[in-house]
Chains A and B, each alone.
Chain A
Amino acid sequence: MSHMTYREALNLALREEMERDPAVIVFGEDVAEYEGSFKVTRGLLKQFGPSRVFDTPISEAAIVGLATGAAMAGLRPVPELMTVNFAFVAMDQICNHLAVMRYMFGGQVALPVTIRMPGGGGHQLAAQHSHSLEHVFAHTPGLKAVYPATVADARALLKAAVRDDNPVVFLEHEGLYGLKGEVPEEAEPATIGEAAVLRRGRDVSLVAYGAMTQAALAAAGALEKEDGVSAEVVDLRSLRPWDRDLVAESVAGTHRAVIVEEPPPVCGVGAEVVATLCEMVFDRLDAPPVRVSGADVPMPYARELEQSCIPHAADVVAAVRRMMG
């Protein structure tokens, strides 16, 4: 085991995959000389040189298109979009090119692209810089979408994404970069599509992903201490494909489900999980499943207002108390 941050675990995964496969290249805005806006790509230019690590202009659509073309012609690109917010200007390239091409061309082409994009709110960056877009990628056939919530997964999921022969949207939470944790010595990639039970419990299942998994873990601790409620925490890890069997199994055991997600609730991941639970384990539920979601507004700038838009552990605790009460 070694101890490191989420940021360092991502950096380690990139290094390991670049050392392993010369087809892996990294590019994006300020990823090379500046070493990344969030320093995830620190040291890569020095170690791998400018033909494998290079800076691009602020042209998100072309960054994604460049990756798509490079993948089609034999490379394994790992472009970075400086933040998920800028994916909006690249959406045509992500969802209407990269995602559809393999199918549209009758399976003739594989597109091993991993697009890294940090996102999420909480830094007073206001409406245009605080998005969580995972539900859009999770909605799109042809893409995979993963979102590590722990330090170990930052490394294991990124390695899995890079090795995957399909396009993977790799979401990172800006609020998790400083998170510290253990990373196992063996460098095994995760299996995309497998969720994980991070904490066993009997009374309620908290289903979450990304930064919200950390909120769910904190809530589970508080519920045990303050209410004697035993909460199980299921970390989705991958949003497309997502592990409906494990989530259903957990909820079939606890009979209650609370889904925690950062973006607004309408047509989101939470809605998908609730609908699926109703289809799969409706008769095992003791209460209607609920969502704890972001507020249904563009993110405000003011500190208190912004914090009130993002689900916290206390909101999860309150939702469980309402459900159990």
Chain B
Amino acid sequence: MKKDDLLRVYYLMRLVRGFETRAAEQYTRGRIGGFCHLYSGEEAVAIGALWHLRKDDYVIGSYRDHAYYLLRGGDPGRAMAELFGHADGICKGKGGSMHFFDRTLHFYGGYAIVGGMCPIAAGMALAARTRGEDRVVLCFFGDGATNQGVYHEALNMASLLKLPVVWVCENNLYAIGTSVQRSSAQESLSRKAGEAYNMPAWVADGMDFFKMQSVAERAIKRARAGEGPSFIEARCYRYQGHSMSDPGTYRGKQEIEHWRKRDPIPKLKAAIRGDFDAPEAEFEAIDRRVREELDRAVATAEAGRELPRERLYEDLYVD
């Protein structure tokens, strides 16, 4: 990869991590309500998975969705405004943290029922194929989704119909507080999907951008060529609890430290410096740019307000 591309990846990592840090701050200040799930630690999964996607491909995912929106080219200010519940948020403050959505970016939403977005992803793929388009659908969900009935229905149907879907399982080892070991009879989620539903299934190091993008490239190519769905189990870790209201006490300090040592950001930085002449100042400039962008995002959100009560009934039906 070219140096500019790699610096772009570094920027995206910083943007996602920085956004989540700001979201946590604003949550603690009481500016953000409800549930707020952070992506910190898992950046390489989404950045790698989305790297080879075309602009007109479809992305859909779970409620841990801030990263998907930002990585599709979303505006951090409108994202923060949505978290604040403001009218200039992505969904006019009607969705909040778990329900980001931007049709213009072909990001078709964050969904807060575990596994619920899987058949919807299959439906989008069906539409693309029926309309003679070569778009693919990338669907993100967590390890917990693999225990839901509708997940299995969707994987079976997508494979049966040979739909252009890439299933990306963010296996961060815990469904809220219950570990994969304690919740899935088959601990290998790639085997659980690939063998049962007759499709290629790969395990990827979700803490490593390079490994993620290379697996995703194969999966996307396959789907675009009409060869059907495939499955990526991205082994990763979330640094925070399940959501802002979860202190995450079910995980030992040692375990968290072990994963933090594999943080995707320093790893990427080291890789860039190994291959190119990249002085620290270049990274610092990116860090500063992200800081400024996020300062502006918070300021935008702080300046907004909620939709007036008179507009409560808008957007329910198409007239």
A67-117 interface with B by 8 A CB criterion: 67-75, 77, 92-93, 96-97, 101-110
Contact A92 B116, beta carbon cutoff 8 Å: yes
**B119 in complex: contacting residue of A69, A107, A141, A165, CB < 8 Å:** A69
Say whether A65 faces chain B, with CB atoms less than 8 Å apart: yes
Contact A97 B90, beta carbon cutoff 8 Å: no
Min CB distance A145 to B, Å, is 13
Closest to A52 in B: B130
Q: How far is the CA of A97 from the CA of B103 in the complex (A)?
A: 17
What residues of B have a CB within 8 angstroms of the CB of A319 in the complex?
none
Say whether A66 faces chain B, with CB atoms less than 8 Å apart: yes
Closest to A69 in B: B123
Say whether B243 faces chain A, with CB atoms less than 8 Å apart: no
Contact B94 A105, beta carbon cutoff 8 Å: yes
Binds B, one of A54-62, A125-133, A150-158, A256-264: A54-62
**A96 in complex: contacting residue of B91, B113, B149, B317, CB < 8 Å:** B113
Contact B92 A106, beta carbon cutoff 8 Å: yes
Min CB distance A163 to B, Å, is 11
Q: Convert B225-268 into 0s and 1s, putting 1 for each residue whose CB lies closer than 8 angstroms to a CB of A.
A: 00000000000000000000000000000000000000000000
Binds A, one of B10-18, B46-54, B151-159: B151-159
Closest to B135 in A: A73
Contact A65 B102, beta carbon cutoff 8 Å: no
B106-134 interface with A by 8 A CB criterion: 108-109, 111, 113, 116, 118-128, 130-131
What residues of A have a CB within 8 angstroms of the CB of B102 in the complex?
108
Q: A102-B316, A108-B91 are in contact. Are A70 and B118 (CB under 8 A)?
A: no
Contact A75 B92, beta carbon cutoff 8 Å: no
Contact B131 A75, beta carbon cutoff 8 Å: yes
- Among B58, B89, B116, B123, find the residue whose CB has the most chain A CB atoms closer than 10 A: B123
What residues of A have a CB within 8 angstroms of the CB of B149 in the complex?
61
Contact A62 B154, beta carbon cutoff 8 Å: yes
Q: How far is the CA of A142 from the CA of B93 in the complex (A)?
A: 18
Contact B123 A65, beta carbon cutoff 8 Å: yes
What residues of A have a CB within 8 angstroms of the CB of B316 in the complex?
102-103, 141-142
Say whether B160 faces chain A, with CB atoms less than 8 Å apart: yes
Range of interface residues on A (Cβ < 8 Å): 35 or more
Q: How far is the CA of A52 from the CA of B131 in the complex (A)?
A: 11
Say whether A51 faces chain B, with CB atoms less than 8 Å apart: yes
Contact B131 A104, beta carbon cutoff 8 Å: no
Q: How far is the CA of A59 from the CA of B89 in the complex (A)?
A: 36
What residues of A have a CB within 8 angstroms of the CB of B131 in the complex?
73-75
What residues of B have a CB within 8 angstroms of the CB of A109 in the complex?
101, 103, 108
What residues of A have a CB within 8 angstroms of the CB of B125 in the complex?
69
Closest to B58 in A: A73
Contact A70 B119, beta carbon cutoff 8 Å: no
Contact A166 B101, beta carbon cutoff 8 Å: no
Say whether A25 faces chain B, with CB atoms less than 8 Å apart: yes
Min CB distance A80 to B, Å, is 15
B41-92 interface with A by 8 A CB criterion: 58, 60, 89-92
6 closest A-B pairs (Cβ-Cβ)?
A69-B123, A65-B119, A107-B315, A73-B127, A106-B91, A62-B153
B residues at A contact (CB < 8 Å): 58, 60, 89-95, 99, 101-103, 108-109, 111, 113, 116, 118-128, 130-131, 149-150, 153-154, 156-157, 160-161, 314-318
A residues at B contact (CB < 8 Å): 25, 51-52, 54, 56-57, 59, 61-75, 77, 92-93, 96-97, 101-110, 141-142, 144, 165-166
A-B contact pairs, 26 of them (CB 8 A): A57-B153, A57-B160, A61-B153, A62-B119, A63-B119, A65-B119, A65-B120, A65-B123, A66-B157, A67-B123, A69-B121, A69-B124, A70-B123, A70-B124, A72-B123, A97-B111, A97-B113, A97-B116, A102-B315, A102-B316, A104-B99, A105-B95, A106-B94, A108-B102, A141-B316, A166-B317
